[in-house]
Amino acid sequence: MADDLSLDKGGAPHQTAKGDADGMTTAQGAPVANDQSWLRAGARGPALLEDHIAREKIFHFDHERIPERVVHARGYGAHGTFELAEDLSEHTRARVLTEVGKKVPVFVRFSTVAGNQGSPDLARDVRGFAVKFYTDEGNWDIVGNNIPVFFIQDAMKFPDLIHAAKPAPDRGFPQAQTAHDNFWDFVTLSPESMNMIMWIMSDRTIPRSFRFMEGFGVHTFRLVNAEGKSSFVKFHWKPKQGLQSVVWNEALKVNGADPDFHRRDLWAAIDAGDYPQWDLGVQIFDEAFAENFEFDVLDATKIIPEEQIPVRIVGTMTLDENVDNFFAETEQVAFCTQNIVPGIDQSNDPLLQGRNFSYLDTQLKRLGGPNFTHIPVNAPKCPVRHFQQDGHMAMHNPKGRVNYEPNSWGEGTGEEAGPRENPERGFDSYPEQVEGPKLRARPESFADHYSQARQFYISQTPTEQAHMGSALTFELSKVGRPEIRARMVGHLRNIDDGLAQTVADGLGMAELPGKLKAAKEPIADLPESPALSIIRNGPGNFKGRKLGIYIAEGGDAPTVAALQKAAKDAGAMCEIIAPHVSGAKLSDGKMVEADEKIDGAPSVVYDAVAIVMGEESGRERARDKPSQDFVSDAFAHAKFIAYTDAAMPIFAAIGLDERLDDGCMKLSGAGDASGFIETCGKLRFWEREAVKQD
């Protein structure tokens, strides 16, 4: 390498140029000594606004895209309400967390991170999960993701991360993918990314639906009560629908069949009155816990396992209204991590501190000026009074003569004095003691990059671990430079040697690369955390899922009707698929209209499938490729399949007639329908994958 790579005490990489000609500079030409960390007051102190190098870098990054968001460009939103169930006044004076039973309006935007507006919904990617609460004390935004950790520890590196993940600037591809040299080059040179790598290589990044994924505030925040006492808090969203993801081959085919799969799913559920819900949970802890925790609570690449601090459910969010206009609401909504209300405060998390600067700057560029809060979706639903005026697209300005304070207008002058500060109700920052030298560095408490990555991996079921190994192998197989592949496997050896060997074998490496030197020796005996597994946290029922019933001429009418009823009784959606969109005539001689034609409704868009047809139709459909794919994909993706005898020729045509397992259920009549739907509550017959791997 032309440069020397080293790590500081906090494990941050430094790639030092040899010679003045290679030196990095600012846009003004000034040499840069440290491009890794924001200037702060003490290693664990707050970020300083005077850092012109970091501010210039973030400023330029914020203005790279016109008009779509630089990240989270592809999003989908909905309106709803949040209702508090437990009073947290012991910890906070925020009304939204202390007034039990009050319903607060919310707007939620789900999104992918790396792709542009036209990218597919089921790319392997982190999902944004941003919630705007319209409280009586102003807007409060939890700008989170469906993963509780992040790639980087310091906002200074955010432009580099996204540049590495986005299409390469010379060729403009790949789109909405991380399976390329630039991304893996960056993360393998940034050991702090290793915990996040385990998460994104898991099925968490290919969710079945927005409705079936968790949300996290990612950062540690503060709660401050009426007496000024502070606690730390992490925010969680737990889906009442349970967790569920797809498998990779399925994701690829869903993107081809319906690139709007997640959008359509959320719209359809709300439109049908099947309103998705999430419980808001909090992990609240004090300074003593923070000081004794194995990791630094200000490090955004770490979680606090639920087994150490249980998630306390305090309220429920319900999404019950689709938007009236996608652009006006979903596209123009502006989230800012700085949007907090009295009783909620920031922490010195260096990634959060940088986000607080970046988001406001982003909205200025993307929405055209400082008055983006005048757009209805961004406007608070409480009284707004201040002296801010004018600017691009101002919809309203302060009335009267006075536009400044302090002022002496008011009583006896005939003029309105305008708003005044309110020390009792107003926002007041927690008076945390801050001291230390101004420096660019990561604290040593940020230096462990592998322990929680290992904890996440060992907390997965064998099925999920196999998926992670396959994902890593696939992604790295798209990397052209062998040294990058070897470097990643060297990182994996600090996480799990078995996983490293699986990936090395999958890549055809002649020998296992050496273990990379860790900035801090990993903790090898962290216990499993079952809360980190998707499969272990499924719903246990079929509610909110979708059954696809493939019918053809002569199919048993009572069986079709029973399947529809059983699905409805379970709270599931149901669609009829047929060889023709006009439908099919069943055994009772009646025509049943189809929702979809077979070649436009592959099994990948359903959670379980049933095939009901007459004998002649079964023989005819066995020669039909879309019918064969419908069954073979459902089987390959470990889905539950119900079938009548007449459908067996299709199974025989694809060689499955001798491989039917307990996930394939024969329908002898209408009486078998309810039992099939009950079994579908397991969502997948994962035992089938284990058989395939043997």
**Pairing of the two strands 230-239 and 640-643:** unpaired
Say how many Å lie between the first and final Cα of the chain, rounded: 42
Give the residues across from 6 on adjacent strands.
14
Reference 193, options 146, 234, 236, 160; nearest CA is 160
Judge whether 145 counts as a catalytic residue.
yes
Angle at 336 between CA 280 and CA 429, to 5 degrees: 80
Residue 290 — φ and ψ, nearest 5°? -60, -40
Distances (CA, A) of 350 to 53, 194, 330, 400: 15, 18, 29, 42
The answer to whether 10 touches 2, Cβ cutoff 8 Å, is no
Alpha-carbon span 375 to 359, nearest angstrom = 17
Alpha-carbon span 360 to 375, nearest angstrom = 15
Give the residues across from 145 on adjacent strands.
128, 216
**Pairing of the two strands 40-41 and 438-439:** antiparallel
Amino acid at 615: E
604: which DSSP letter? G
Place of tokens 């005077």: 50
Residue-by-residue DSSP string for 344-375: EE----HHHHHHHHHHHHHHHHHSSSTTGGGS
Residues shown for the chain: 694
Q: Of residues 72, 79, 449, 491, which has the active-site annotation?
A: 72
Alpha-carbon span 603 to 106, nearest angstrom = 34
Q: Please state the three-class secondary structure of 264-285 as a single string.
A: HHHHHHHHCCCCCEEEEEEEEE
State both tokens at 465.
Answer: 């671990």
Q: Of residues 79, 91, 145, 219, which has the active-site annotation?
A: 145
Judge whether 72 counts as a catalytic residue.
yes
Q: Please state the three-class secondary structure of 505-572 as a single string.
A: HHCCCCCCCCCCCCCCCCCCCCCCCHHHCCHHHCCCCCCCCEEEEEECCCCCHHHHHHHHHHHHHCCC
List active site positions. Answer: 72, 145
